[in-house]
């Protein structure tokens, strides 16, 4: 929440922007939010390991690992396009056991604990009831490496012709929790990192959704390609997606 407030209050007041790749930017706000989150975790759990987007891996060989994206949707944030969030997950002995995704613009806190359901601002959420692809509302994203290899264009075209609509809003973590609360019926993306998906992955599963790789094999946040749906349209999407 504290880092979310920092992010919200910094819209339109970014100090520095640097480039991690041709289109991949990071702002001072990403770094300040990350420092804030890591300091809080470190002060309470000094022995835990941390994997965070900008700082990388702080490995304490602990069975507890925090996986942090201090600002998911940085390009949106840098353009004051209000679709970005903070995403934090806790892995215990290799199993994602806790996930929170906070959208500071709408003050929406999505959360889940393994085996205990998924919540939006304290209220239980579940995935949509959409049964077929024809009326479904989907989301996807295009990774920073797309200029080198535009692997997702074919998937986008194929699915666009068979669904009601597809959005590409620019925050994988928010896309995932939007599946969890039934706003989207499904989401897929290639080349994601653990910090983009770890929290959202658990939140979708706890909202009774289904999360796999494109070939329907079990998903973990260390896999690059993710397919998250309400379960009902899953096999149809598996048949149409290519890695
Ligand atoms: C990005 C966003 C975007 C997705 C990219 C991610 P970042 O994260 O989640 O939606 O398409 O693949 O890298 O860089 O804004 O934290
Ligand atoms: Ca991210
Ligand atoms: Ca980020």
CA of 120 to the centre of ligand 2 (A): 20
For the CA of 24, the nearest ligand? 1
How do the pLDDT tens digits run along the chain, 243 residues long? 778 888 888 888 888 888 888 778 888 899 999 999 999 999 999 999 999 999 999 999 999 999 999 999 999 999 999 999 999 999 999 999 999 999 999 999 999 999 999 999 999 999 999 999 999 999 999 987 766 777 899 999 999 999 999 999 999 999 999 999 999 999 999 999 999 999 999 999 999 999 999 999 999 999 999 999 999 999 999 999 998
Contact criterion met (CB below 8 Å) for 35 and 54:
no
DSSP string, 92-110: ETTEEEEEEEEETTTTEEE
Contact criterion met (CB below 8 Å) for 226 and 197:
yes
pTM assigned to the model: 0.96
Contact criterion met (CB below 8 Å) for 241 and 226:
no
Nearest-CA residue for ligand 1 atom 11 is 141
Question: Around ion ligand 3, which residues have CB less than 5 A away?
Answer: 53, 69, 71
Sheet of 85-92, strands arranged across: 56-58, 49-52, 64-72, 85-92, 95-103, 108-113, 118-120, 123-125
CA of 161 to the centre of ligand 3 (A): 31
* Domains of the chain from N-terminus onward: 2-124 (3.30.540.10), 133-240 (3.40.190.80)
Cα separation, 55 vs 33, in Å, equals 12
Give the per-residue pLDDT at 147.
Answer: 65
Q: Residue 168 CA: which ligand 1 atom is closest?
A: 10
The label of the residue with tokens 């998924």 reads 118
The first and second tokens of residue 234, run together, are 């899953």
Contacts of 107 (CB under 8 A, 6+ apart): 121
């Amino acid at each position: 929440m504290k880092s979310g407030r920092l992010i919200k209050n910094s819209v339109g007041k970014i100090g520095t922007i640097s480039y991690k790749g041709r289109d991949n930017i990071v702002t001072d706000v990403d770094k300040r939010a990350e420092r804030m989150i890591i300091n809080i975790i470190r002060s309470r759990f000094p022995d835990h390991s941390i994997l965070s987007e900008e700082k990388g891996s702080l490995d304490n060989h602990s069975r507890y690992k925090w996986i942090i994206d201090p600002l998911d949707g940085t390009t949106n944030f840098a353009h004051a396009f209000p679709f970005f969030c903070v995403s934090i997950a806790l892995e215990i002995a290799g199993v994602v056991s806790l996930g929170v995704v906070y959208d500071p613009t709408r003050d929406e806190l999505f959360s889940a604990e393994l085996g205990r359901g998924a919540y939006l601002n304290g209220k239980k959420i579940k995935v949509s009831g959409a049964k077929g692809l024809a009326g479904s509302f989907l989301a996807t994203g295009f990774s920073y490496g797309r200029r080198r290899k535009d692997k997702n264009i074919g998937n986008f075209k194929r699915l666009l012709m068979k669904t009601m609509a597809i959005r590409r809003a620019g925050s994988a973590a928010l896309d995932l929790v939007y599946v969890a609360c039934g706003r989207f019926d499904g989401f897929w993306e290639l080349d994601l990192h653990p910090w983009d998906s770890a929290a959202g992955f658990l939140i979708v599963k706890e909202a009774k959704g289904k999360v796999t790789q494109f070939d329907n094999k079990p998903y973990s946040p260390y896999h690059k390609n993710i397919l998250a749906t309400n379960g009902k349209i899953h096999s149809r999407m598996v048949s149409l997606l290519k890695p």
